[in-house]
Structure formats: structure tokens, C-alpha cells
A and B are shown apart, each in its own frame.
Chain A
Amino acid sequence: MFYWSVKSLLVEKWSVLTAACGIALALLLALYLDAVFRGEAGQIVTFIERTPGDVWVLQDGISDLHMARSRLNENAIYAVRQVEGVAGVTRFLYRDSLIGPNGQEKLAYVVGIPSAPEARSAWERATGWTAPTPGHVVLPAPMARAQNLQPGDRVRVGDESFILSGVSRGTYSMANPLIFLDETDARNLFDMGDGANVLLVFARPDTSPSDLAARINREVEKASALAPQALRHNDFNLAMKMGGALIGVLEVMGLAVAGLIVIFTAFVFSSNHQREFAIAKALGAPTKQLAGSALAQTAVVSFLGIVIGALVTYPLEAGLHHWVPGIAVSFSSMTVLVLGTATLGLALLSALLPLRYVLSVDPMLVFQG
């Protein structure tokens, strides 16, 4: 029976393939949106991933860089320095600002890179990004391209004007592009005489980063210390959560489309094969086996669709990076797995509808010419 049902599918390989591609497309639709948000979130956290340091210190009560509300005053910074096991700290300015010509401003996060030469070069080595010198700005590559800016062109950030000195890669997201200024310029721009927004703490070799974070949290009242992974995790999830409702709706829509395609295919297939089911019934095929073979057919088509969808995902990711560099997409194997399973489950559920039709086929059809 199973052999027969699979063979029947092979005979109609084109309609099977069309249906499978439809399912693949529906799956990709849902996956793609998830990938866009994942890609965006990934770009948002690259700064955290690449910037060297063992412990991030933010203002007390803040555990992510979103909206950049963190502010640490000199007392707090001094207190952090005094904690046992701290080898050194680097201060970063990190705040949101408007960028671009009047009337066309975009929101961006401005990072003030430390002016001290050792801190700068350590940061440049670790990140691979060039730090801007005073009077200069570094923009994400897609942003510079979108505004048609060349190095040497003037760029408005807030109320000031800077010269574009270079571009960075991996820091562009549609919601949160990250741009870099020299610390002094950033202080002037934000009117911030002292203090910092973010501290990066280096631990002594004999102190583990997690112990150090715990110690800072205990000893410094106005600071919140986090391991880099924890901060990255918080920011990533926050970014995903902002897209969550939209992703959810599109995923449900994708699944619904996949379900409809399955119902339609299974329905067309079972009505095309009505006579064959009647023959099998007349020859004594038990109802259970007939149901099983109809379900197996649906399962094979859906599985094929899911495999096609999953296989297309990775080349698609590479293609999108190449053709549409402005949109960061990052497909997640976990999402492929979860959505793939959901699609398969839904497909089998949808197959129950035409199944009733298969089971009610009249074996007396075999006597008709």
C-alpha cells in the first residue's frame, strides 16, 4: 500500500512538485520575516559582541542598551575602579541622536570612542573598525551608500557637522544604526562634561568575570554589572520582541497558506484518484490502510515542501546579503525546525479533511466503464 501511494505520487511528479514548492514558499514567507528581525537584532548587538572587556557596567536598574538611558557619574566610575579584581575600565559614550540633513533626519545611536590612544587602538584591534579622529564620523556602510556620501563629505549629527572618515560593517539595522564619533566630540554634542554612559571593565587574571560582575553589583550602589553574553542576550531579545507580534502574525499567515495548499492538493489528488481508491477498496484494502496511504501521500508532499523550503533558506540568505545588503537577514535553524514541524503537523491536520472523502469513496465505482 505504501509503495503504491508513493508510486502514485511519482506519476504526478509535476503537480506534487508544484504543491511542494507552494508549501516551501509559504514556509519561507514566515521564515524570511523572522530572519529579517533576527538579522536586525544581530546587527544591533555586534557592538556588544566585538567591543573588548570582561564586564559591562550600566546605570543601576538598566540591563540593556536600548534607548540608551544609562548614565554613570564620576563617583560611580570611581567606585567601580576601587572594586577588587578590576584591572582597568574603558568609558564609552552611548546615546541616541538624529543624523542627516534637516528634514531627513534619522534616529541613530552615537558611540563616543575613548580618546586615550591605548584604549582606542585596543578597541580598533578587537573590533576591526576604524575609530574616528576628532571632527570625523564613521557611518555604517549601507547608511553612507543610501545618502550617497563619500569619505570627506560633511555629515550632520545632531546640531554639529562632521567629516565622514570611513564606514563600518555589521552595525547597520533599520531601527538602530550605530555611528561612531571621537569621545570629545560626543561629549560636546551631548553636552556631557564628565561621567560616561557605559563602562567596560577588564578583570585581573586571577578574577573570573562573573565573580567580578557579582562583586560590582554588591559593592557599587549606582551600577549594574553584566557579563557580555547577558547584555547581548538582553538586547537581542528586546529587538526580537519589538518585532514579535508582526513575526507572529506573518508566521501564522504563512502556516495558514501552507495549510490551504495542503488541503487543496490533497483534495485534488484524492478526487483524481477516486477510482484507484475504489479499486483498492473493492479488492479488499482495509479502510485503515487507505487512510494511512492518503495521509502518507500528504506527508510526503508536505515534507518535500518543508525540505525545499529549508534548503532554499541558506542560499537565499547568501543571495540577500549580496543583492540587498541594506537588509540584514539571518535565518535561524531553530526557527526552520520549529516552523517546519508546525507546517508538517498542520499539513497532516489539513489532510484529515480530504481523508473523509477518500474513505467514503464507493467501491461500486469499479463496475462503471
Chain B
Amino acid sequence: MKRVGFESSFAIAEAVKMANIDVTSAYPITPQTHIVERIAQLIADGELDANYIPVESEHSAMSGCLGASAVGARTFTATAGQGLELMHEVLYVASSMRLPIVMSVCNRALSSPLSIWGDHSDVMAVRDTGWIQIFAENAQQAFDLTLCAFRIAEDPAVLLPTMVHIDGFHLSHVIESVLLPEVDEVNKFLPKFHPLYALNPSKPLTMGDFATPDLYTEAKKGQDEALRNSMKVILQAWREFGGLFERDYFPVETYRTEDADVLLLTMGSFSEVAMGAIDRLREAGEKVGLVKLRLWRPFPFDEFCQAVAQAKLLIVLDRAISFGGPGPVCSEAKAALYHLEKKPQIIGFIGGLGGRDISVEGFQDMIHRGMDKAEQGKFEEFEIFGVRG
């Protein structure tokens, strides 16, 4: 194990190298470009023995990944924002054909107006594509969770494509210290990929076939069960990872939530900033805590309810707008809690759009505003935090 200074993008490329992928099919887009550039460099320098398929668009990038994964290659790609949107229809094909592709998404706002900066609009737009979606908060997690993603995705009981989400710029372009494990340790954790089915001319089979109304429902049921059941493997993989590398990951993580009346719910890199706000408020004697959603799909209903049920108020930050409706994380939180007798009230905020910063003070302010609004009974309002006017 050695400690190095790495940009998060390079940390991900390093994880991809250690995972010893066979194929990447990728198209550069800000703020993801550094990842695929670095991988291209590693391949060119002979440090990674893989095929790099340069394509003309993200639609083709994901289509290339389909083909590679379908023949049994360990496959990786990366994208962001508009690129993820351009892949959209192919994402469904990857998950329904049960192809364990791993993809880094450098979460980015969607046009228009054009914004290359981070938020979760792209993440939420692909929520229903059937991929496993995991959030990282810092460079170390980006590295760790990328390794874990291969292990989870390729597990014969899972076989589902997996996205590791890192916030564009706020994480992708940040240089931090990262602990790198030795290759043989990684190999212990991540076995070789043995596909259940692989395209092979001498043993032909059909993937992505056609289904009449008599079959489509059953096909979708099987896919949904697979995604729900992946939870067991995710927990197991993270438990083993923790045992080997002493860093623990859980679908829902909490920070200073013991006997907290008020909880803040965040995802991704802003969570660490919010931790600072919690520290300050705790010092001032306020009973507040932070809940971080690491796993977005499959949604960890039990873990989430357990983490928040005892609080009086849950303040949810969404970094995406669902135009005309509540924020997507906020609706999910409400749906998860609805059936419980004892549950917190919920105040939703939209914020951090298109790269807009939220500082430690900002989060302190957000928590106080949330408490005020709850007191005034303004539960229906979805405030865009910090919007002018």
C-alpha cells in the first residue's frame, strides 16, 4: 500500500489498470476526458494490455462496450452529462442483456444553457436504465468503488452494468492523496471475469432478442429481480473490501446521527463539505446529523429507513431538478418512508446546480432554513437554494 497524490480521474484510471480490463470503448467529454486520456496513455505505454476503441460518439462508445462485454471481455468506459444522455437508449440494452460493463460518470449539468460543470441532472436522467449506481465522495472512494464495481457487476448472481458517479470538477479534477494497494492484493479481491454467456461463433447463441407481449413482462421481471438481488452481493463485496483494505462502504452512511433531531441527506462530493457544517452545528450544541446515500440503484430502502426513521426532520438536497415535480431524491425519500408509523417530516432543497458551490456555511444555512420552513409548515415548497430574485 502506498500513498500518492492523484487527480481523481487518474485514480480511476489506476483502478481500471489494476482491474486489468480487456476493452474500453470511449469518447472524451468534459469533465471526464482525463480518465479516458489517461487510459489511452497507459495502453500506449504498454502498462495496460487492453484494446482502446476510439469512436465518434457516446452512442457508439456504449454500443462498442455492449459488443465487447457480450464476448466476455472486461469492459470499461467513462462519460458525463450530454454524453451520458447520448448513450441513453444503449444503457437499457446493456442492463437488459445483463452485460457487466463498468462506467465512470463525471456528473455534469445538462444543456441548455450549456454548462460543463457538475450537478446530478445526468445521473437522475438515467435512474431507470437498470444500472447499479454508486456515488463516490473523494478520490480514494473513486478508486476503491471503481474496483468494487467490477467485482459487483461481474458476480454471476448480478451480471449488471454499474456506474460509479463522481462529481464533475468538484471531484474529477481534484488532486488528493490516494492509498494504492498492491496488484496481488487487488487480484485477491477481484477474480477474473467468467461470463455466464458469451458470444462465440463455435457456440452460437442469441442476445438481445425480440419478445412478444407473452414474454416481455417476464423478461423485465427477471431483470428487476436481478437488480434488487444485487444488494446482497454489493454488501458482501464491500464487506470483503473492508476486510482487505480497511475502508468500509455501506449503501447508506451516517455521520454524527446519534440522537439527532434533524438530518441532512446528501450524495457525492458535497457530502464531505456538509460534514463540516454538521461538525460546527454540533459544536454549537445542535442535534443535527448527516445521512449520505452511497447507493442510488438499487435503492437501499431498509438501510435508508433505518438511518432516518428516528429523526424529527429530514432535509434533502437534490442536485437536479425534476421540472414541475419534487426533486428526485426527495421523492424517493418520501416514497421510502411513507408506510412507516414513525418517520421524519421532509423539507426538500434543490441546489448545487451547474457547478454552483455550496460551502460549509451554505450547508449550515440550509439546515437552519430547513428547520424554519418545517416550523412554518412549508413542506410543499421546493426551494432552489441560493437562487437570486
A and B pair up: no
Question: B: which residues have CB within 8 A of A?
Answer: none
